A and B are shown apart, each in its own frame.
Chain A
Amino acid sequence: MLYKTITKSDFEHLIDFILEQNEIIAPRKVGEKPDGTPIHQFLPIEAFSEMDLDYSKTEYSAKTYFLPFRENLSTWSFGDGGWKQDIQYRQKPRAIIGLHACDIHALLKLDKVMLKGPFPSPYYKARRENTVIIGMDHEPCGSGFCASLGTDILTHGFDLFLTDIGDRYFVAVDSDRGFRILSQVPLAEVTDEDRRRYVRARAAISEKQTIKVHTRNLPTLLDLTFNSAVWEKWGSKCLSCGACAMVCPTCYCYGVKERVCMDLASASKVKQLHSCNLVDFAEVAGGHNFRPTREHRLKYRYYHQHRGFAEAYDEPMCVGCNRCGDTCLAGINPPDVIADLEQENP
């Protein structure tokens, strides 16, 4: 890894440079909750001033720029006794600025499924490869428990990663592409003082990580509590609305439907992200439903996040952002559910 520092005004120049030829997605303030808490979302920007990098957590993750809620997989049209298929993988280059460590970890986890599995997704790959990631350190978000999952710090998965060390940014460079972009502004070598400031800045962030979730040996704990009443307690509250999966930075389950144009001259395969909490998620031919109750469905969401994924990929799927807990109207959140399981005496 290469480390450099740049001044804050040069960072602004860097953004201007990227904007000249690329789309930039960055955190923007879109509103306020009744209590005055700002609401942020990752949205396209046209000027540096539209970004608000001092955000704690966006309401939605940046997943949508890699795995959109809805995407057209293939369109085909009929005519002249035959048919033509049209598949578009192309993605214009874009940069996402200001992703926090947890959200970059989420992309690394999605990579394992979408790129490194037996069936890599060309749609995902095109977006991933044509997206520059410029991440940024930030104080803990309040409800997240990333530190318990080790997703509060990063060693790869970005082009550039910035840490605020006062009058300048300490920049970790993890790709040739990142270095070429960064070289558009004057770079300074890291001094001893910069090192000290970086270590202090990181330590200050870590100290503020107060939410602890016991995740060691969680896959086994989940096995042992499979029939626990905890699932009934939380499951009975579940609205089966799928909001948790929609805001989750790693949930990737989906369904595919065929959409036929009204003139019958063309049709397309459309993919839509789904959620394991929705009532028809596990419904199969003949109407049989493998997960007929809310309790079952909620349980299996936790099992996929913290057990099944861990078994397949040696790490949980959850990054600890707690967006699911923040968005759940019924108050279902991983720290409380896992704490309840901990209390069980199987």
Chain B
Amino acid sequence: MRYLGIEPVKPRVGIFDFSGCEGCQLQLLNKEESLGAFLSALEIVHFREGSSEASDDYDIAFIDGCVTREDEVVRLKKIRSIAKLVVAMGSCASFGGVLRHRNYIDLDAANREVYGDKPKETGKTRAIHEVVKVDVTIPGCPVSKTQVERIVQHLVLGVPFHDVVYPVCVECKQKFNTCMFEKGTLCLGPITRGGCGAPCPTGGLGCWGCRGATVDPNLKEFKDLALKRGFSEAEIDERLAFFGGFEGITCASI
């Protein structure tokens, strides 16, 4: 199908899993109403969860998960050397996700606790961009399939794609929700990148920041207002660290 006279390219795509729950790549097989069209737009040549094919000839690599072991570094670098375009898909790939917590604990002690006298090789969590160059980042835990579709349309047709840069509050208000703070619940909505459609506040859960910091977040005012409403500094910092999407963003830099 041509769109506006443009013949779409059908790129060869590989989907690769690194450390993480692999839920983001499973998202690629959701949204059944447009799944057929989605799969027709691409030639998927490597997708462990969805296909028995495993080719090493692809144009685009979608990376799910983060890097925690040295063998992953080797595999990721090989993928980068083959793919023309690398997409970091999900919070783990984008900034470490929940696995970022490993960086704040004694990993040797954790290894002993879990594996006893048969420790496994493991290291600090690194986002994909901390190991190789990333061309497109899709944060979210899990990623939104709608957003993946838009990126695919962008890649195959050149339909413009701009990730939203406003915070979760915009879409939360557009759902007519009562503010989580009004309900006495901590919420990172005002400083987290929107585009998710605010499913967590809509469901009664304050935002945990899975899409990372919005562009130019007002962290100082956010901390002030959360402290004023009785949330402790430790509680706020723990929330900010949960997905790793606020690492490196400090009040001072704003």
Q: Which of the residues B37, B183, B190 comes within 8 Å of A329, measured between beta carbons? A: B190
Q: Mark B154-174, 1 if CB is under 8 A from A, else 0.
A: 000101100001110110011
Flag whether A31 is at the interface (Cβ < 8 A). Answer: yes
Binds B, one of A8-16, A148-156, A256-264: A256-264
For residues 215 through 273 of chain A, which have their beta carbon under 8 Å from a beta carbon of chain B?
Answer: 236-243, 246-247, 258, 260-265, 267, 273
A129 CA to B225 CA, complexed, in Å: 43
Size band of the interface chain B makes with A = 35 or more
Query: Can you name the residue of chain A whose Cβ is closest to the Cβ of B159?
Result: A260
Chain A residues with CB below 8 A from B41, complex form: 262, 264
Binds B, one of A33-41, A101-109, A136-144, A184-192: A33-41
Q: Is the interface of B mostly helix, strand, loop or mixed?
A: helix
Assembly CA distance A292 to B2 (angstroms): 39
How far does the Cβ of A312 sit from chain B's closest Cβ, in whole Å?
A: 26
B residues near A, CB below 8 A? 1-3, 8, 34, 36-38, 40-41, 149, 152-153, 157, 159-160, 165-167, 169-170, 173-174, 176, 178-179, 181-184, 189-191, 214-216, 218, 221-222, 225
Question: For chain A residues 268-293, which have a beta carbon within 8 Å of chain B?
Answer: 273, 275, 278-280
> Could you say which interface size class chain A belongs to?
35 or more
Bound form: Cα–Cα A258–B149 in Å: 14
User: Given A260-B157, A262-B38: A280 and B165 within 8 A (CB)?
Assistant: yes
- A74 within 8 Å of B (CB atoms): no
Contact A279 B216 (CB under 8 A): yes
| Residue numbers in B under 8 Å from A265 (CB-CB) | 1
Are A239 and B159 closer than 8 Å at their CB atoms?
no
CA distance A279 to B216 in the complex (A): 8
Report the bound CA distance from A116 to B97 in whole Å. Answer: 51
Determine the chain A residues whose CB is within 8 A of the CB of B1 once the complex forms: 78, 263-265
| Cross-chain contact B34 with A261 (CB below 8 angstroms) | yes
Residue of A nearest to B41 (CB): A262
Contacts of B149 in A (CB 8 A): 262
The answer, among B166, B216, B218, for a CB contact under 8 Å with A242, is B166
28 inter-chain pairs at a CB distance below 8 angstroms, sorted by A residue, are: A34-B182, A60-B173, A239-B218, A240-B218, A241-B169, A242-B169, A242-B170, A246-B173, A246-B174, A260-B3, A260-B159, A262-B152, A264-B1, A264-B2, A264-B37, A265-B1, A267-B3, A278-B170, A279-B165, A279-B166, A279-B214, A279-B216, A280-B165, A294-B216, A327-B179, A329-B179, A329-B225, A330-B221
